Structure 1
Amino acid sequence: MTDTEASAAGPVCGRLAGELRDLRTRTGLSMVALAERTTYSKSSWERYLNGKQLAPRQAVEALCTVAHEPAGRLVALWELADLEWSGRAHTTAAPVARTDTTPSYDDRPGDHGPSTGHATPGPVHGRGGRRHRGILAVLCAVGLTAAAGVTAWLLTAIDNPTNIAPSAAPAPGCHARTCTGHQPTAMGCALPDQEEVLGEQRLSTGTPLEIVYSEQCRAAWALVGTARIGDVLTVSTPGGAPEHATVADKYDTEDPLVTPMIDGSARTGLRACFEPADGHRKCFHT
């Protein structure tokens, strides 16, 4: 699939890139994992999320699908960004020719001015020509007004998402054991009103290390607020295989580090370990 090539970035494109970064953060997916879940490569997502290239509409919709986010608001923002990126947002109507108050010879019935013996090409100044120019001027004005109105409506909808009918929260995509190995946001388990922090420790840097539990999914995961390249986070249960999350690149350092989920039905015996690339391992359990 061909990416949308850059022409001119602007504030709307920057805003779209920021919204996409926030949405990617909510998924808990690394850039590599995001590429695996969509038809776009890791390098393409890096360009889209950093505003170096306008994401195709299909990429915006794909990210919304992965994040279980209704696509309407971001697609509306993409429409405006596409206009800005392509330069079509800066197109203005051509100036309308000035109409003189003094009638030309062509406006005087029966009077065509002095004869020169040959025809001289020039603009048409008759009543029909002026009428046509007037109609074109009105149409241009109406077109620009309509475009401005649509743009204003879209911006209002984007800036005031409460004006858009809310959709029901999606049902979780897994439960207990079937959540193992899946990302909490991608499966609809990372909902603020459904989460419970079962345990928390502070690292030497002051960053919180948490074990989070979803009542709706009956699954758990570990989370650390900030991490650096090479840091590893693990969550496990007694006798169960651990799930790992690693900071692979600079983009992963911009978001909290979140492990895939494990079966958290028992709610006890859950263990989280954080191992920094240049420090000592720290673990705790519920």
Structure 2
Amino acid sequence: MVVDKGGDGGSPPFRDQLAEAMRGMKEEARLSYGKLAEKTHYSRSSWERFLNGKQLPTTVAVEEFAAATGADADVLLALLARATAYEELRAARQQQAAAPHPAPEPAARPASTPVSAQAPVPATTTGPANVSATAPAPQAPSAAPARRPRVREWKGHARTAALVVAGALVGSIATVVIGGGPGGGAAADSSRAGAQPSGSAAGAQASSPRPPACSADTCLRREPQAMDCHWDGTTVRETWLRGLKIQLRYSAACRAVWGRIENGTVGDSVTIKDKGGREESATIRVDNDTYTRMLAVSADAPPDSVIICGQIPRYQESECSPLGAVLP
């Protein structure tokens, strides 16, 4: 696998810098992953991924982390902006490199201008040097000199600032692509939503700091917290196995479900499966909880048609929530 190392042959490990800074602040505040989960909207497994550099945290996660640890949010948000800008810029470069480059088209011959359409030749005035009254048109400056300063700037000492600006542009384009296309807004998502659990989805979505980043099929196999789908999440299935809490979570705003287990131990797992045979699983790697990536739901395949199962390998036991049931 070829790794893009930036335009100057190397790149600062922005994600690692952010993770290292957050780990230091967590240790200084003497907080465990479990305590962080209690003080924030994110689970212990999410904080394990954020603080070990496996996944970039969201802006909301960084702000909640700073509030929980008493750290300086501005410092962490600056590191997050640099890491996000660099990774979005790298992704854009890779996409541009992978895109086919069409061959340049031959320049079209200009059509001959009819004599009647030609502009009249301006008259000259008699002067000391008998110079024509019509001065020659100034020539457009060459584009090459304008490009050279940009190259020098890209490779100069302002590389970090250029990365942040370029990353912001890429982020703006991604925001438009993800959330702004025809029929892609929150109103369209709400009108197309299938069966929903009790409660107002609009009210739950209004409490979210920002609208979700995906809907229905675009949420397939993506993380609910990274897509901001967890803000209006509700439990539509629940069962237990030897104290292991097994839940099927549903977001009306994202029109998607995911599985979650709590009170487990390392090695316990959760699996969800929809009517079409699509399946997602997750295993506890640290602490005692985890959750799966998402599966899309629709009017033909509502949330209560998804099966969720929890497994405890050390006992060779599993438990699945039956269709249409929410167990106490």
* TM-score normalised by length of structure 1: 0.48
Larger gyration radius, structure 1 or structure 2: 1
